[in-house]
Structure 1
Amino acid sequence: MPRRVALVCLGNICRSPMADVVLEHQLAQAGVDDVEVSSSGTGDWHVGQRMDERAAATLTAAGYDATRHRARTFTPDWFDEQDLILVMDSSNRADVLALATSDEQRAKVRMYRSFDPEADTPDAEVPDPWYGGPEGFDEVLAMVERTTREIVRHLSDGS
């Protein structure tokens, strides 16, 4: 039975879809084929939309396929469908935890950067690049790539 990992940000058009694409890519490169990856947002205003053009351009320039994404909203049923839920910031964490109805569900939720070897704290956030320029998307991609390497190691160990 595959393990399932969800990545969650605010609108599901920048950070979590970037992390989704990178995680799927790195899992495939590592030969880990028993993990399913999905992403969603805590807000619903972008449902059905493609990834932010700047996020997609950043991924494409780095050699990733950013074409398949469509935004979705995190709903309470995701707790039953996922084994690990990685949120991008403390606001996303609060929104997701507000939907949890048990300690078991809450235990599935972690900050994405809790795996980042360069994070100062396990509560470190992935900054939202939405209001900035292209350099913000480059910064997020670098953060996502190094953090994802650690997530892949964690998942490769069967955790």
Structure 2
Amino acid sequence: MQPSSPLLIRTGANDAAKLGSDNINIKLKSPKSKRRSEGRKGDPRMHCSVALRLSNPRMPLVDALIGGGFVFPTLGEPKLTDRTTRDMDGVLLYQRKNQLNRRLRLAKQKNGEGTAPASTSVRTAASLAAAAGMNTQRMTFPSSSPPSNGERATSPVDASSES
């Protein structure tokens, strides 16, 4: 039996033996040809929320979720908590916050235990001032010195009420 069409290329090993050794057009699939899946890729809104929170660790989780693209239509209503507020997909705010916390924890572990991620850096007052172009060499701040010789410290409010 000689193959008459290219459709016979997909035949298995047993079919190739039946066709004879003179058929060189038959290719067998190797078991390694299957592509290995790396798992689910995740929601791009959650990726954005994680990036926002990593860049600003003091940002509330809800703000990071909203900034990432999640919409919570009943967020500001009275008597609703994060366990009763749902997003447009029907997922509770509580669940979204838990997932964001889990993703943040994994991102921190990936970048080193207890250290800031490589993509973000801790900004000090000096680095913020330097970024703004301010001269930080001689920054002075008003300070109140403690009263000397047992004097009572008074604030402007106290001074006006004593008269």
TM over 0.5: no
- Looking at CA atoms only, which structure, 1 or 2, has the larger radius of gyration? 2
What is the TM-score when the length of structure 1 is the normalising length?
Answer: 0.26
* Larger RCO (CA under 8 A, 6+ residues apart): 1
